[in-house]
Chain A
Amino acid sequence: MTRALAPHDAALDAVPEPSRLLTGRPSGQPGMKSEADAPPDPRELRDDQVDGPELTARLATTWGTTKGIIGALSTVDHKIIGRRYIITAFVFLFLGGLSAIAMRMQLARSESGLIGPDLYNQLFTMHGITMMFLFGVPIGEAFAVFLLPLMLGTRNIAFARLNAYSYYVYVFGGAMIWIAFMLNIGPDVGWFAYPPLSGPEFSPGKRTDFWAQMITFTEVAAIAVAIQIVVTVFKFRAPGMTLDRIPLFVWAELVNAFIIIFALPAVVTASVMLIMDRLVGTHFFNPAEGGDVLLYQHLFWFFGHPEVYIIFIPATGWVSAIVVTFARRQAFGYIPLVLSMIATGFLSFGLWVHHMFTTGLPQLGASFFTASSMLIAIPNGIQIFCWIATLWDGRPVFRTPLLFVMGFFFIFVAGGLSGIMLASVPIDAQVHDTMFVVAHFHYVLIGGNVFPLLGAIYYWFPKFTGRMMSERLGKWHFWLAFIGFNITFFPMHISGLMGMPRRVYTYLPEMGWGNLNLISTLGALMLFGSFVVFLVNVIVSARRGALAGPNPWDAGTLEWAAASPPLPQNFDRIPVVTNREPLWAHRETLPVAAGLSVENREVIVSTVTAGRADLKETSPEPSIWPFLAAIATTITFVGSIFTPWAIVWGGVPTMITLLGWFWPKADKESET
């Protein structure tokens, strides 16, 4: 399938000097010397010296994960960690869905005694934080962890050990909050935890502290992965992958990673200030001592609005990938698509005040945020129009992934348009904090994230497992989900306009909301049923689905050049990219670069803009230390819920594990 690229191969014209890899001649910055400039060690086996099955087998050993429990916990393979990330995020999606079903059962009729206010308040808080922090943020990053190295033509994600650490921190944080909920000490102050309600006076006990530390856990994990994504995209691209050849999905993940890096510190600040108010008696948010409760809201929503785009932007990547593959046409308007993603990323930081329109802010300031909130319709509009144009000029093939993308268009556009209503200060004064808003953001988030996500699962499932999912069950799944979703959430627009606030555990019969709520509950059961079909499809297909082969959809991006499921090394030789859709441009043989070690974990580090091969860098070996460091971190964070001193004594095990992790060690290359 692949062949080594000879120095004067025609494909080279499109590749800006991957020369060192091919000839050993130094290039890069004049006057700069690096390890990689040294001529290759003659004793070291390189991938231009072996070929075929022998090369495949040797690389699989070099990059493989050892068997056994220690091996499994030590792995740094982005595919194994990515798969765990995706499955864990789906487990939380199902838990969040179950808490939603419980709430819908309670609201099905007025004055229902099924669930009391205390449990109900915990349920909607758990639903919110699970969907936002334990599913919404991680799922986009989880796909990046699995797919980015494959799409970029490299062998592992940057900072692979940090990747393992971030996964364990995320799992431990999610487990902590759900265990707290099972013990009836789950948070009950809403996913936003506004003080003074969440402060020491009105929320005694530990419930809110669990909320605050869950934030810390998930944010540490999310920021770590975001940094890996940025570095992987900037430095680990295959030679020849210039900025304008980066797949749209990768651009989406890159923009997403930057939003995460800039938005999440605001909520960590807010939650740490809150927990300090609660644990060590500071008064950041206590008006009686000169604190300010609105400061919290500003900090929270400075994160909270970009959060919506953290959930949505990866989905635009899934949509782009699916639209291009199933329209059988390269993306129309690649540059506008990329620029509008970047514009959305910037604008998302200028909208947060529209969550606070009813707090009595100065009107001129509020109207500025109306304008900026509406403005974001433009980059989103550009994306929608470019996708429709791509389908228009393409030859669409209707398979389940494209079906889910159609569902995305119908639902997300409706949600985006009702968002324009919420952007208006006066209209928001009526519908803010009512079921109308609940309807709106489920249209945006389920339409904008979950539908593309389900499409993405059907699309990449063959790559994850080597087997196809059932199309027949897929179509059942789609129609149940699409109809169930609309039956659940459309009536909420009306119940909100009829005066039903959010976060109420019950309502009086004379309010007249009973029928609408009953319809919503029936729809929710249907939506839940669709997920049962999905689960069955995943489990059955993973065992007995048709074998997929490397490229079952005849897609154009690099991940489809790897085996399904990919071998530990991803690619036997690193591809050289000459086109945005490399597999469509080179249908016979994919040009590759050679010269990497077979015995050591070497990856190519390329230049940021031109994607020119620049250095050979070693990628980390498996290690148990990230797992141990995550346990030490967990002890510190959970301990700090009970005593501030945990930060002091918890530092010791954390430091020890980090020392073990970073202990300087001669790598195999230098030992030989």
Chain B
Amino acid sequence: MKRIAPVLLLVLPLAGCQGWQSALDAHGPAARTLADMFWIFTAVLGTVWVLTMGALLLALRKRRVAGTDPLATDPATERRMTIVVSTAIGLTFLTVVALTGISYGGQRALYGHRDGAISLLVTGRQWWWQVTYEDPQTNRVFTTANEIHIPVGEPVLIKLESVDVIHSFWVPNLTGKMDAITGRQNQIVLQADRPGVYRGQCAEYCGLQHAHMGVLVIAEPKEEFERWRNRQIASAQPPSDPERQRGMEIFMSKPCVMCHQIRGTDAGGKIAPDLTHVGSRRYIAAGTLETTRGNIAAWIVDPHGVKPGVQMPTIQLEPDEVQPLASYLEGLK
């Protein structure tokens, strides 16, 4: 019974791998190639495992007369076994060559071309992703964080860099991972077939908050993407209601401005996420908390309770300052 249990378990992922961060739930051409290769390899190698274990069990089931000399060997049996073992080795060799060929084909399909309609510079930082949309027109270049929008059906070139330690950019529903290495630039192409929200996560151990370094990729139709991009390029609108105006004053008078930028205001820090349109992003703290006023307040009051060790310091705030501040940030759509 135990022997077939692993085989049964092997079938489980067929049903269980739907998910918004699953390598087998492919939503792009690269991920589909990879998922197909995975299943081909699984089928071939699973067969090899079953055959080998079958041979082992047969070897154990065979009953022979007891009591003969362990050194005595029968030349005919030796010869037969030599033939069988040599054949098995030959088949192993052929399997390995075939799989190497398939692997090489997949590699060419995946890394063959290296350009996209749009190019992004994604910089890994402890522990969030800085995203800069490049454009030949410098006034259309903008920076955001932890949320990447891409147009459906178009290849998008991601240039990966790191300013501190090594990270790895991985959105499994769309393609395989690529490291963001200090002092180097790597490139990877993202392409989604249909609209959707795909989650990714840092895949190279990068310190205390490696577990909370998520990224969202949102694939949307071209027009919607362009609308989003134009909104992101624009500076932040000054708030109109008094609570948010108060929140803005608090933000500008606190150390927040040393690290964060809000375009269109005096806040010009460049070492923490750009907050110009933070309210439009689905998550804060690199995919850790959904963007709600309550979560923003909780994060500002105690960032180390949410992400112990995070670079953001705890800012001294009066109790009545928290709500306006959160409200202001949430309003930065």
Check B235 for interface membership: any CB of A closer than 8 A.
Answer: no
Quick check: B16 and A360 within 8 Å, CB to CB?
Answer: no
Check B22 for interface membership: any CB of A closer than 8 A.
Answer: yes
**Nearest A residue (CB) for B185:** A360
Quick check: A385 and B207 within 8 Å, CB to CB?
Answer: no
**Given A359-B181, A378-B92, A417-B45; A433-B168 close (CB under 8 Å):** yes
Quick check: B166 and A429 within 8 Å, CB to CB?
Answer: no
In the complex, what residues of A have CB within 8 A of residue B84's CB?
Answer: 389
Quick check: B60 and A391 within 8 Å, CB to CB?
Answer: yes
The 8 Å CB contact of B203, one of A378, A421, A432, A482, is: A432
Chain B proximity of A44: nearest CB distance (Å) = 39
**Nearest B residue (CB) for A116:** B308
A427 to B287, CA, bound (A): 26
**Given A374-B100, A391-B60, A511-B21; A427-B308 close (CB under 8 Å):** no
Quick check: B176 and A392 within 8 Å, CB to CB?
Answer: no
Check B38 for interface membership: any CB of A closer than 8 A.
Answer: yes
A92 to B178, CA, bound (A): 35
Quick check: B184 and A294 within 8 Å, CB to CB?
Answer: yes
Among B104-112, B140-148, B267-275, B324-332, the one that faces the other chain is B104-112
A426 to B5, CA, bound (A): 29
Chain B proximity of A433: nearest CB distance (Å) = 5
Among B70-78, B219-227, B239-247, B293-301, the one that faces the other chain is B70-78
* Contact residues of A between 178 and 198, Cβ < 8 Å to B: 190, 194, 196-197
* Contact residues of B between 152 and 189, Cβ < 8 Å to A: 160, 164-166, 168, 170, 172, 175-179, 181-184, 186-187
**Nearest B residue (CB) for A203:** B207
Among A66-74, A141-149, A155-163, A496-504, the one that faces the other chain is A496-504
* Contact residues of B between 34 and 59, Cβ < 8 Å to A: 34, 37-38, 41-42, 45-46, 48-49, 52-53, 55-56, 58-59
Quick check: B16 and A498 within 8 Å, CB to CB?
Answer: yes
A contacts with B, residue count (CB < 8 A): 92
Among A23-31, A214-222, A577-585, A641-649, the one that faces the other chain is A577-585
A396 to B56, CA, bound (A): 12
Check A424 for interface membership: any CB of B closer than 8 A.
Answer: yes
A382 to B93, CA, bound (A): 11
Check B113 for interface membership: any CB of A closer than 8 A.
Answer: no
Quick check: B45 and A499 within 8 Å, CB to CB?
Answer: no
Quick check: B183 and A430 within 8 Å, CB to CB?
Answer: no
**Given A425-B107, A434-B203; A498-B184 close (CB under 8 Å):** no
Quick check: B89 and A385 within 8 Å, CB to CB?
Answer: yes
In the complex, what residues of A have CB within 8 A of residue B46's CB?
Answer: 417
In the complex, what residues of A have CB within 8 A of residue B78's CB?
Answer: 332
Quick check: A374 and B181 within 8 Å, CB to CB?
Answer: no
- Chain A interface, >50% SS class: helix
In the complex, what residues of B have CB within 8 A of residue A363's CB?
Answer: 107, 111
Mark interface residues in A343-384 (1 if CB within 8 Å of B CB, else 0). Answer: 000000000000000111001001100110011011001101
In the complex, what residues of B have CB within 8 A of residue A584's CB?
Answer: 69-71
Chain B proximity of A576: nearest CB distance (Å) = 17
Chain B proximity of A352: nearest CB distance (Å) = 16
Chain A proximity of B289: nearest CB distance (Å) = 10
**Given A190-B205, A420-B45; A381-B166 close (CB under 8 Å):** no
Chain A proximity of B190: nearest CB distance (Å) = 13
* Contact residues of A between 414 and 439, Cβ < 8 Å to B: 414, 417-418, 420-421, 423-434
Quick check: B6 and A486 within 8 Å, CB to CB?
Answer: yes
In the complex, what residues of A have CB within 8 A of residue B208's CB?
Answer: 117-118, 121
Check B209 for interface membership: any CB of A closer than 8 A.
Answer: yes
A267 to B97, CA, bound (A): 32
The 8 Å CB contact of B34, one of A366, A378, A430, is: A430
Check A505 for interface membership: any CB of B closer than 8 A.
Answer: yes
Check A204 for interface membership: any CB of B closer than 8 A.
Answer: no
* Contact residues of B between 1 and 51, Cβ < 8 Å to A: 2-3, 5-6, 9, 12-13, 16-17, 19, 21-24, 31, 33-34, 37-38, 41-42, 45-46, 48-49
A288 to B183, CA, bound (A): 7
A116 to B308, CA, bound (A): 8
A299 to B186, CA, bound (A): 21
Mark interface residues in A430-461 (1 if CB within 8 Å of B CB, else 0). Answer: 11111000000000000000000000000000
A501 to B59, CA, bound (A): 40
* Contact residues of B between 71 and 123, Cβ < 8 Å to A: 71, 73-74, 77-78, 81-82, 84-85, 88-89, 92-93, 96, 99-100, 102-104, 106-107, 109-111
**Given A360-B179, A482-B2; A367-B59 close (CB under 8 Å):** no
Chain B proximity of A98: nearest CB distance (Å) = 22
Check A262 for interface membership: any CB of B closer than 8 A.
Answer: no
Quick check: A483 and B88 within 8 Å, CB to CB?
Answer: no
Quick check: A202 and B165 within 8 Å, CB to CB?
Answer: yes
**Given A287-B182, A426-B107; A409-B100 close (CB under 8 Å):** no
A294 to B52, CA, bound (A): 39
A406 to B3, CA, bound (A): 11
Check A293 for interface membership: any CB of B closer than 8 A.
Answer: yes
Check B210 for interface membership: any CB of A closer than 8 A.
Answer: yes
Check B202 for interface membership: any CB of A closer than 8 A.
Answer: yes
A386 to B84, CA, bound (A): 10
Check B201 for interface membership: any CB of A closer than 8 A.
Answer: yes
Check B250 for interface membership: any CB of A closer than 8 A.
Answer: no
Check B204 for interface membership: any CB of A closer than 8 A.
Answer: yes
Check A508 for interface membership: any CB of B closer than 8 A.
Answer: yes
**Given A118-B308, A330-B70; A197-B41 close (CB under 8 Å):** no
In the complex, what residues of A have CB within 8 A of residue B177's CB?
Answer: 358, 429-430, 432-433
In the complex, what residues of A have CB within 8 A of residue B13's CB?
Answer: 493-494, 497
The 8 Å CB contact of A360, one of B19, B107, B186, B209, is: B186
The 8 Å CB contact of B184, one of A360, A388, A421, A427, is: A360
Chain B proximity of A353: nearest CB distance (Å) = 13
Quick check: B209 and A396 within 8 Å, CB to CB?
Answer: no
10 A-B residue pairings within 8 Å (CB atoms): A333-B82, A388-B59, A392-B58, A409-B53, A421-B45, A424-B106, A430-B38, A493-B13, A498-B24, A584-B70
**Given known contacts A429-B110, A494-B17, what 14 new A-B pairs fall within 8 Å (CB)?**
A197-B166, A358-B178, A386-B85, A389-B85, A391-B60, A392-B81, A393-B77, A433-B203, A493-B13, A499-B21, A499-B199, A501-B203, A508-B287, A581-B71
Residues of B within 8 A of A (CB): 2-3, 5-6, 9, 12-13, 16-17, 19, 21-24, 31, 33-34, 37-38, 41-42, 45-46, 48-49, 52-53, 55-56, 58-60, 62, 64-66, 68-71, 73-74, 77-78, 81-82, 84-85, 88-89, 92-93, 96, 99-100, 102-104, 106-107, 109-111, 126, 160, 164-166, 168, 170, 172, 175-179, 181-184, 186-187, 199, 201-211, 287-288, 308-309
